[in-house]
Amino acid sequence: MSKGKILVTGGTGYIGSHTVVDLLENGFEVVSADNYHNSKASVMDGIESITGVRIVNHNIDLADATATAKLFEEHRFDGAIHFAAYKAVGESVEKPLEYFRNNLNSLMNVIDGLRSQGSSNLVFSSSCSVYGNADELPVTESTPRKEAESPYARTKQMGEDILYDFCAQHKDFNAILLRYFNPAGAHPSGKIGEDAANPASNLVPVITEVGCGKRDKLTVFGDDYDTRDGSCIRDYIHVSDLAHAHTLAVEALMAGGGSENPALYNLGIGEGLTVLEVINAFEKVSGKSLNYELGPRRPGDVVAVYADRSKATRELKWEPKYGVEDIMRTAWAWEEKR
């Protein structure tokens, strides 16, 4: 008997697939909905090889209200985790309407779907990018959100606002908002990892691609920031730690909800690392020296952001297990295998 049937939108994506594994390992039944915009169907082979379970993925466009409503006619879900969204910051600047249309319509269609079956328990994938260049560090859940640095970040802020307003009107609709810091690394089994359909732009996959010769070199975007070594600071969180936080959030919702509704949690490990420190961690675990150069700043980058994660630890009983060397070790093993 499973603990419940959970819809994971974006279930073949990077964070989605790791969360599907964690949900299955914790006794849930999982259905995925993903149109493979930024993922591959072969990820389900990896999930099966880890868990022994072959999940079903509905290849639908969640921004399509009719297709999404049909999904909710076929299944009755005890909850949903909504990952499916476009997430490339630079692309969002070039194509803002595509980002607003896709990211917001898909969220509203999933809310409608849950409501249509008298269900609730929605976990929304948000992002630390809602904080912008925060005035205080580490950021807590009550640190004021700043002006979004990109349309992508704005869709995350608007998604949060949609759920605040919806839950205020529908008190019986329970939601949790999870603000991710910098997800990285791969499943310890080496069977799933970050395998985006588009070329990598995030630091850790760029490092491993340079390390294995798929790219010539890494450019460090700025070494003249006011930080301990001049490069930007971020809070890197292992994707498996992030995945488990989603399982805990679903369990909290099914037990009646978080401390408020929607409840909001930062998911970072609370450690700020510079770009150069992450490079050093790679060199240490791989035994290779990385080919990188110091280059100009990247527009839109915040200088430093890292989390106070005490609320998630206190209320969700979430304890991250992995650090940056585990991130680099698993990311490197995954890259070498790919």
| Closer of 143 and 202 to ligand WQD (Cβ) | 202
End-to-end CA distance of the chain, in Å? Answer: 36
Write down the residue that tokens 């961690």 correspond to: 281
Please give the Cα distance from 324 to 182 (Å, whole number): 11
Of the candidate residues 270, 301, 313, 323, the single one contacting ligand WQD (CB under 6 A): 301
| Closer of 35 and 38 to ligand WQD (Cβ) | 38
Does 276 bind ligand WQD (CB under 6 A)? Our answer is no
| Closer of 113 and 159 to ligand WQD (Cβ) | 159
CA angle 77, 78, 79 (to 5 degrees): 90
CA dist 51 to 18, 54, 58, 177, 196, Å? 11, 8, 19, 27, 22
Active site residues per annotation: 152
Of the candidate residues 129, 174, 266, 330, the single one contacting ligand WQD (CB under 6 A): 129
With b for 16 or more beta-carbon neighbours within 10 A and e for fewer, the 92-115 pattern comes to: beeeeeebbebbbbbbbbbbebbb
Select from 43, 10, 19 the least CA-distant residue to 251: 19
- Give me the least distance between CB of 25 and ligand WQD, in Å please: 24
- Give me the least distance between CB of 117 and ligand WQD, in Å please: 29
The tally of CA atoms less than 13 A away on the side-chain side of residue 52 is 2
| Closer of 77 and 83 to ligand WQD (Cβ) | 83
* Element counts in the chain: helices (H) and strands (E): 11, 13
Residues 42-101 that bind ligand WQD (CB under 6 A): 87, 89
Of the candidate residues 37, 146, 215, 298, the single one contacting ligand WQD (CB under 6 A): 298
Does 232 bind ligand WQD (CB under 6 A)? Our answer is yes
- Give me the least distance between CB of 148 and ligand WQD, in Å please: 10
Does 180 bind ligand WQD (CB under 6 A)? Our answer is yes
Does 286 bind ligand WQD (CB under 6 A)? Our answer is no
| Closer of 35 and 125 to ligand WQD (Cβ) | 125
Does 210 bind ligand WQD (CB under 6 A)? Our answer is no
Binding residue count for ligand WQD, defined by CB under 6 A: 19
Amino acid at 235: D
Please give the Cα distance from 283 to 43 (Å, whole number): 28
Does 133 bind ligand WQD (CB under 6 A)? Our answer is no
Element holding 123 (H helix, E strand): strand 122-127
Binding site residues, ligand WQD, CB under 6 A = 87, 89, 127, 129, 180, 182, 201-203, 206, 218-221, 232, 234, 275, 298, 301
